[in-house]
Amino acid sequence: MPSAVFQHAIGARRLLLSNNLRSNPPPPGDRAPAGEVQIPNSHKNGARINGVLNALSDNELDQLTPRLRPFQLEIGDVLYEPDDEIDHVYFPLSGIISLLAAFADGTTVEAGVIGTEGMAGTPVALGVRSTPHQALVQIEGRALRMSADDLRAEAKRDGALLKSMLRYTNAMFVQVAQTAACNRLHSVEQRLARWLLLSHDRVEGDEFELTQEFMARMLGVRRAGVSVAANQLREIGAIDYRRGNVTVLNRAVLEGICCECYQLVKDEYDRSLNS
C-alpha cells in the first residue's frame, strides 16, 4: 500500500471524482488564462488534497484561496526552465512533477519527484528567484497555481504556509540528496524499482503511462539498460509493462528489489509532513 503520508490525499481525490465540472460552467466571458481550469474557487477546489496546503487552518486557507488558480498539468509540459525566473509555484492535486538536473549536452537526470504531498517552486519559498533544475510534468493531473509574487508576500507573513513549505523543502532536500547517492551506488534495477515506488505512491491505481525513453531520461541511463531492468521486474511478477504503460502487480516484490533509499525518503516525508 502507498505510504501513510499520501493516504489523506488519495482519499480526498476519490471524493472529488464525483464532482463534474460541466455542472458548474463559468459565467459568460469569465475565461481562465491558457492552461488553467475553471473550478469553483473554494475549498472544493481540492486545496486540502495537497499536503502543504492541508497544514493550514480553515481561516488561513480561506485567506489564501483567492490567490490559488486551478491549473491543468499535461504530460511533458515544462513548468520552469533552469536559471529562468520562476513566475509561479504549483501545488499538485493529482499527477506527478519531476525535478530534473540538466547538463550542457542536453541530457537530464531526475533529482526529485513531486506529488500531492508537496509543491513545485520551493526556491521561491527560500527567497531565490531561479534554480538550475527543470520542472517537468511526468504524469498528467491538476494543480493549484500561485504567482511567485503572491507566495513571497505570504512568506513574509511568517505564517503556517511558510512553516509547512519549509518542512516540505527539508523532505525534498533529503530526497534529492538520497537520489544522488542512489544513482551512484545502486543498480539500474534497484533504481527503477525505487522510482516506480515513488511514482506509485503519488498516483491513483496501479497503472500509469511511462515510456522506456522517459524512464531512461529520468534515471540518466541508456534506454537499453531500462529495457533490461524493466524486463527483469516483469519476469519476477513485480510489474507488467506494455505499450508505454506500467502496471504495478506486486508492490511487495518491488519493495524487496528496491534499495534502502526508497524507505529512507518515505520515512522523512512521513516525519516532516506529519509534524
Helical axes 148-156 vs 160-185, angle rounded to 10°: 120
pLDDT tens string, the chain, 275 residues long: the values are: 444 444 444 444 444 433 333 333 333 233 234 444 444 444 557 999 999 999 999 999 999 999 999 999 999 999 999 999 999 999 999 999 999 998 888 788 889 999 999 999 999 999 999 999 999 999 999 999 999 999 999 998 888 999 999 999 999 999 999 988 988 899 999 999 998 999 999 988 999 888 888 888 778 788 888 889 999 999 999 999 887 889 999 999 999 999 999 999 999 988 887 77
Cell of 79: 513548468
Please tell me the predicted confidence (pLDDT) of residue 43: 55
Phi, psi of 5 (to 5 degrees): -55, -35
Contacts of 223-227 spanning 24+ positions with Cβ under 8 A:
225/188, 226/188, 226/192
The CATH class of the 187-258 domain is mainly alpha
SS3 state of residue 92:
strand
Name residue, grid cell 543498480: 187
Pick the CATH number of 4-182 from 3.10.129.10, 3.40.50.880, 2.70.98.50, 2.60.120.10: 2.60.120.10
Contact between 261 and 179 (Cβ < 8 Å): yes
Q: Taking Cα atoms as reference points, which of 97, 70, 273, 275 lies closest to residue 202?
A: 97
Q: Give the span between the Cα atoms of 160 and 164, in whole angstroms.
A: 6
Q: Give the span between the Cα atoms of 198 and 266, in whole angstroms.
A: 8
SS3 state of residue 202:
coil
pTM given for the model: 0.81
| Extents of the domains making up the chain | 4-182, 187-258
Please tell me the predicted confidence (pLDDT) of residue 71: 97
Q: Give the span between the Cα atoms of 9 and 95, in whole angstroms.
A: 12
